[in-house]
A and B are shown apart, each in its own frame.
Chain A
Amino acid sequence: MSSQLFLSGVSKSFDGFKAINNLSMVIEKGELRAVIGPNGAGKTTMMDIITGKTRPDEGEVYWNDAIDLTRLDEAATARLGVGRKFQKPTVIETLSVADNLNLALKADRGVFSTLTARTGRTQKTEINRLLALICLSDQRSRPAADLSHGQKQWLEIGMLLAQDPALLLVDEPAAGMTDAETMRTAELLRNIAGERSVVVVEHDMQFVAALGCKVTVLHQGHVLAEGSLDHVSANPEVVEVYLGR
Chain B
Amino acid sequence: MLARLIDTRMAVFLAVLFVLTVAVPLGNLVIAGQPVPSYVVALLGKYLTYALLAVALDLVWGYCGILSLGHGAFFALGGYAMGMHLMREIGPRGVYGDPVLPDFMVFLNWKELPWFWLGFDSFWFAALMVMVVPGALAFVFGWFAFRSRVTGVYLSIITQAMTYALMLAFFRNEMGFGGNNGLTDFKDILGFDLQADTTRAGLFVAAAVALAAGLLLARYITTSKLGKVLVAIRDAESRTRFLGYRVEAFKLFVFVVSAMMAGVAGAIYTPLVGIINPGEFSPANSIEIVIWVALGGRGTLVGAAMGAIIVALSRTLLTSWFPELWLFALGGMFILVTLVLPQGILGAVEAGLRRVRRRPREAAA
Interface positions of A (Cβ within 8 A of B): 51, 73-75, 78-79, 83-84, 86, 90-95, 99, 102-104, 109-111, 114-117, 119, 159, 163
Contacts and interface: CB of A to CB of B under 8 A. Distances in A.
A74 B249 contact: no
B98 to A, nearest CB: 46
B226 interface: yes
A74 to B, nearest CB: 4
29 contacts: A51-B242, A74-B238, A74-B241, A75-B244, A75-B246, A86-B239, A90-B236, A90-B239, A91-B236, A92-B235, A92-B236, A93-B235, A94-B235, A95-B228, A95-B232, A95-B235, A103-B228, A103-B229, A103-B240, A103-B245, A104-B243, A109-B244, A111-B246, A114-B250, A115-B221, A115-B225, A117-B224, A117-B226, A159-B243
B247 interface: yes
Contacts of B228: 95, 99, 102-103
Interface string B35-76: 000000000000000000000000000000000000000000
B136 interface: no
A117 B229 CA distance: 12
B123 interface: no
B224 A78 contact: no
A78 B232 contact: no
A111 B225 contact: no
B231 interface: yes
A92 B236 CA distance: 6
Contacts, number: 77
Given A74-B242, A109-B245, 17 more contacts: A51-B242, A74-B238, A74-B241, A75-B245, A78-B241, A78-B242, A78-B244, A84-B242, A90-B238, A90-B239, A94-B231, A94-B235, A111-B226, A111-B250, A114-B229, A115-B224, A163-B243
A119 B225 CA distance: 9
A44 B238 CA distance: 14
A115 B224 CA distance: 6
Interface residues on B, range: 20 to 34
A78 to B, nearest CB: 4
A21 to B, nearest CB: 25
Contacts of A95: 228, 231-232, 235
Contacts of B250: 111, 114
B141 interface: no
A73 B249 CA distance: 14
B61 to A, nearest CB: 15
Given A91-B236, A91-B239, A75 B247 contact: yes
B225 A102 contact: yes
A233 B235 CA distance: 41
Interface string B197-238: 000000000000000000000000100111011011001101
Contacts of B246: 75, 109, 111
Given A115-B224, A117-B224, A75 B238 contact: no
Interface of B: 221, 224-226, 228-229, 231-232, 235-236, 238-247, 249-250, 253
A114 B241 contact: no
* SS class, residues of chain B in contact with chain A: helix
Contacts of A90: 236, 238-239
Contacts of A99: 228
B232 A117 contact: no
Nearest to A107: B225
A115 B246 CA distance: 14
Nearest to B246: A75
Contacts of A93: 235-236
A114 B225 contact: yes
A163 B229 CA distance: 15
Contacts of A94: 231, 235
B242 A103 contact: no
Contacts of B225: 102-103, 114-115, 117, 119
Contact of B231 (A86, A92, A102, A119): A92
A111 B64 CA distance: 14
Contact of B244 (A111, A116, A119, A163): A163
A92 B228 CA distance: 10
Contacts of A78: 241-244
A188 to B, nearest CB: 20
Contacts of B247: 75
Contacts of B243: 78, 103-104, 159, 163
Nearest to B239: A90
A241 B229 CA distance: 43
Chain A CB within 10 Å — which of B221, B232, B244 has the most?
B244
A103 B230 CA distance: 11
A83 B239 CA distance: 11
A116 B240 CA distance: 19
Contacts of A163: 243-244
A109 B247 CA distance: 10
A73 B224 CA distance: 26
Contacts of B236: 90-93
Nearest to A89: B239
Contacts of A115: 221, 224-226
Nearest to A115: B226
B180 to A, nearest CB: 40
